[in-house]
Amino acid sequence: MGSETGPSPEAAKLSQPRQRLPLGGSGRRLSYEKRLRLSLIVFLLPSALGVTWIVFNDSASIVLALGAGAATAGCFGIAASFLFEQLIRPLQTLANVVAALREDDFSFRARGARRGDSLGDLALEINALASTLQTQRAAARDALTLVERVITSMQTPVLAFDASGALRLINPAAEDAFHLVRRLALGRSAQELGLNALLESEDQGLYMGHGSGTPRWSVRRTTFRLQGVPHNLLVLSDVAAALREEERVAWQRLIRVLSHEINNSLTPIKSIAGSLRTRLPVTASDNSDLHRGLLVIEDRAASLNRFLQGYQQLTRLPPPLLTPTSLGPLLAQVVALETRLPVELKNGSPTTVLADPDQLQQLLINLVRNAVEAAQAQAIAARDPHVCVTWTTTGTHTSVQIRDNGTGLLDPSNLFVPFYTTKPEGSGIGLVLAQQIASALKGSVTLTNNPDAPGCTAEVLLPAHCASNTAT
């Protein structure tokens, strides 16, 4: 049977709480000035008494002795006052400078300081500290101004929440992305703003947002301290935009390869069919069917060649030449080109966007044409076909909306897939080309069904130009 051992006496002694010795009461300590005055009095009193005693022994006159003692005390008092002032004034000056530093006022300096004495060295060191703090504060303000400018100009949403979950920083891109107003949103909690899921998301995680059609965000988060309080900084990037770019590059490669291979076969087929058809005698009845067959082969080869040339637009789109473009006149030109149906244009505020006018016009022509065709497909229904074009500007972006009253979107997931179309004679490149142009213009294209009526709305989001308030 094993024996149970307890802790050693040394360990038991260390584990016991220490008993604090009570501190004895101490009298109130005199201030530096009072102690200095008391020291001077103690130094002067023996001198005055000594002079009084010497004069009394020599003259045997009490009056003369007291007068001499009083005069001596007066002279020493004046000298002591001057000495006291010389000792106290530099310390008061340094105390004022340090108090100013504590209140973030770095303009005060101690004057007349020189190297070689204790107070002079102390004053010079305090002056140097004030200069260093002033320089650091100026650098910190410049850095903070730069950070604010960078965050404000960023096209990606940036938000910061404090330890309690209250919003403390938001840039214009985040305001547009989450439909917030800065002055109303700052100070409110993430739960009140509907961003609780965003605040709880992990670093490099995905945030889906609310509702259909909202972008998918990749969240990068880090922490920083502001005035000693920890904050969470969230920087979002649109994952869908990166995926669309990768998808666009993949489709361009596929189309380029297919066009090359098919054209290499179509060209000799068309040439051989044409040569054989020209060699056949057209008078012989037996050759009429063969003649027509070769003609069909030749025509279809040419048609397929033209078809591939249309798809090659996706791979030959030139880089946009971004210039300030007045939106109102450009939309008026696009609407005037559509003759199958009167398109309603609701004029908005004079707006200038940063875009390539030719490519933007082609983008809008494709979307208006699709809207008109969708509305005309419902012409047999009780409602009349109608297409309306409007635009609005909010913050740093301009939104152009093209609304129709057609059947709406049946399969939104395949809208921007090349070769996919629901039209009998469609090519399947109109929306893909529109999206590619919008991406090159640093914008986007989205199509959604109308929530309150039949049909759908195509929205083109473009960056607004800084001179957006100029007249069109």
Q: Which tens digit of pLDDT belongs to each residue from 275-304?
A: 777 777 655 555 577 777 777 787 777 767
Residues 6+ apart with CB under 8 A from 116: none
Q: With the C-alpha atoms ordered 302, 304, 310, 314, is the resulting torsion angle positive or negative?
A: negative
Range list of H helices, 318-419: 327-337, 357-376
Sheet strands side by side (includes 397-404): 344-345, 387-394, 397-404, 456-463, 444-449
Q: Give the CA diameter of the chain.
A: 172
Range list of H helices, 217-356: 239-279, 288-311, 327-337
What pLDDT score does 46 carry? 76
Residues 6+ apart with CB under 8 A from 242: none
Say how far apart CA 420 and CA 90 lie, in whole Å.
87
Contact present, 74 and 47 (Cβ < 8 Å): no
What pLDDT score does 390 carry? 92
Q: Which of 134, 125, 126, 118 is nearest to 96 (CA)?
A: 126
Say how far apart CA 217 and CA 240 lie, in whole Å.
8
| Structure token digits, residue 65 | 């002795």
What pLDDT score does 388 carry? 92
**Buried (b) or exposed (e) across 190-201, using 16+ Cβ within 10 A?**
beebebeebbeb
| pLDDT lower than 50: segments of the chain | 1-18, 20-21, 23-26, 211-213, 420, 424, 426-427, 467-472
DSSP lists the bridge partners of residue 457 as: 403, 448
* Domain 323-463: CATH superfamily, name plus number: Histidine kinase-like ATPase, C-terminal domain (3.30.565.10)
* Rounded (5°) CA angle 280-285-289: 70
* Rounded (5°) CA angle 205-207-211: 165
The CA distances from residue 272 to 4, 258, 265, 266, 278, in Å, are: 106, 21, 11, 10, 10
CATH of domain 153-238: 3.30.450.20
What pLDDT score does 302 carry? 75
**From the CB of residue 207, how many other CB atoms can be counted at a distance below 10 Å?**
20
| Structure token digits, residue 344 | 């309603």
**DSSP code, position 394:** E
Amino acid at 219: V
Pairing, β 397-404 against β 352-355: unpaired
Q: Which of 252, 299, 248 is nearest to 416 (CA)?
A: 248
Say how far apart CA 57 and CA 172 lie, in whole Å.
95
**DSSP code, position 342:** P
Contact present, 324 and 440 (Cβ < 8 Å): no
Instruction: Determine which helix (DSSP H) or strand (DSSP E) holds 431, and give its type and residue range.
Output: helix 430-440
pTM: 0.44
Amino acid at 274: G
What pLDDT score does 468 carry? 37
CA 13 to chain centre: 60
